[in-house]
Structure 1
Amino acid sequence: MRYDKGHKDETRRHILDVASAQFRESGIAAVGLAGIMSEAGLTNGAFYSHFASKEDLVREVLTDALTRREERHKANLENGVALETTIRDYLSTRHRDRAGTGCPTAALVAEIARHPKATRDAFTGKVSDILTLVAEQIRQGSADDRRRKAITIYATMVGALQLSRAVNDKPLSDEILENAVEAAVAMANEQ
């Protein structure tokens, strides 16, 4: 059977999207290739015409999802969106409650620490790019000061989002988000 031009790229994109949502929602270790391919409407054998292994898929998902997040940060920077707006959006209850479409760092960082060097290298490069963009949104201080603040702000955001998702007490979860917003915004506005 012959497929239209671009079919393979579309299929690969579809597998990436399905895997990305499943990984973020359930965790990398909990998601099998059979479940990904079933949800994608494809056979297990089709997987290997797009990816060499599950680890290859994990790297591609991370790179893709973090590139998309990086593009949002770039757009915010280009459009003059304040860092405070980015922080408030990231630490929102909407983001907390939608792990499957949210930040891959907050959803997967603990698992990524146990993955092979190539996967961690891909993750490290993308996180570094995001930190650079956050630093560019900080208006005060030397380049080193802005970088230090960007790391602190991003770590606060990621950690608070993870913690807010982990607790089973909604008022406490909301309180974690609210306090993290205050701390991150204060750091961003610190002179």
Structure 2
Amino acid sequence: MRYEKGRKDASRGRILEVAAERFRKNGIAASGLATIMGDAGLTNGAFYPHFQSKAALVRETVAAALEDQSDEIRQALASGGLAMAIDTYLSAAHRDNPGKGCASAALLAEIAREPPETRQLYTERLLTQVHQVSVELPPQTPDPEGVAFAIFATLIGTLQLARAVEGTELSDRILAAGKAAARALIEQS
């Protein structure tokens, strides 16, 4: 049976989209291929023409999620600078939608356990994002890359804490404290 042109690419894209959301929402280990394929509207057997393994799917999913995040950082920086990027990242909307949110905040512990190829890809994408932020810092900043790393650590840790606690009031306080800490890093640079 012949399929229309582009169907394989569309199926691959759908698998990546579903996997990205599942991984960020439920974690890599908790997201089985059967569930991902079912959510994508495909059979388990349709997985291997697209990806050699789950590790390959994870690598491509992380790469795509970090590319999307770099685009979001670029847009936030262009529209409102670092303050806008911080406010957008540490928003209640971002906190409440992990499936569509930051791959780092959702997956860092699991990425650390992935094969070296995935960790290398993550490193490259992270360095791109750090550079995006470092060039926005005040020109007198003595170590812009170091400050950018500190900002990322503050944002990611804050989001993880805000998602982990029980109760919106406490979670909102954590987000506010993280915003203040990130801004202080910029002001002190």
State the TM-score, normalized to the length of structure 2: 0.95
The residue type equivalent to 1:88 in the other structure is: D
Q: Distance in 1 between matches of 2:136 and 2:12?
A: 34
Deviations, residues 92-131 of structure 1 (Å, cap 9, x unaligned): 1110000000000100001111111111111111111111
Query: What residue in structure 2 maps to residue 114 of structure 1?
Result: 113
CA contact (8 A) 2:76 2:88 kept: no
The residue type equivalent to 1:169 in the other structure is: G
Q: Distance in 1 between matches of 2:140 and 2:86?
A: 19
- The answer on 1:81 being equivalent to 2:85 is no
Identical amino acids, percent of aligned pairs: 46
Count how many residue pairs are aligned between Structure 1 and Structure 2. 189
The residue type equivalent to 1:138 in the other structure is: L
Q: Which stretches in structure 1 are left out of the alignment for 5+ residues?
A: none
- The answer on 1:186 being equivalent to 2:153 is no
Query: What residue in structure 2 maps to residue 49 of structure 1?
Result: 49
Please list, as runs of the form range in 1=range in 2, the aligned pairs for 1:15-30 lying within 5 A after superposition. Answer: 15-30=15-30
The residue type equivalent to 1:172 in the other structure is: L
Q: Distance in 2 between matches of 1:5 and 1:190?
A: 56
Secondary structure of the 1:28 match is coil
Please list, as runs of the form range in 1=range in 2, the aligned pairs for 1:127-138 lying within 5 A after superposition. Answer: 127-138=126-137
Q: Distance in 1 between matches of 2:154 and 2:75?
A: 22
The residue type equivalent to 1:116 in the other structure is: P
CA contact (8 A) 2:76 2:84 kept: no
Deviations, residues 9-34 of structure 1 (Å, cap 9, x unaligned): 11111100000000000000001000
CA contact (8 A) 1:25 1:107 kept: yes
Query: What residue in structure 2 maps to residue 166 of structure 1?
Result: 164
Q: Distance in 1 between matches of 2:158 and 2:70?
A: 20
CA contact (8 A) 1:84 1:188 kept: no
Query: What residue in structure 2 maps to residue 100 of structure 1?
Result: 99
Q: Kindly report the root-mean-square deviation, in angstroms, between the aligned alpha carbons of the 2 structures.
A: 1.3
Q: Which stretches in structure 2 are left out of the alignment for 5+ residues?
A: none
Aligned equivalent of 2:155, options 118, 132, 157? 157
Q: Distance in 1 between matches of 2:44 and 2:124?
A: 31
Deviations, residues 49-107 of structure 1 (Å, cap 9, x unaligned): 00000000000000000011112223344x35310100011001110000000000100
CA contact (8 A) 1:87 1:181 kept: yes
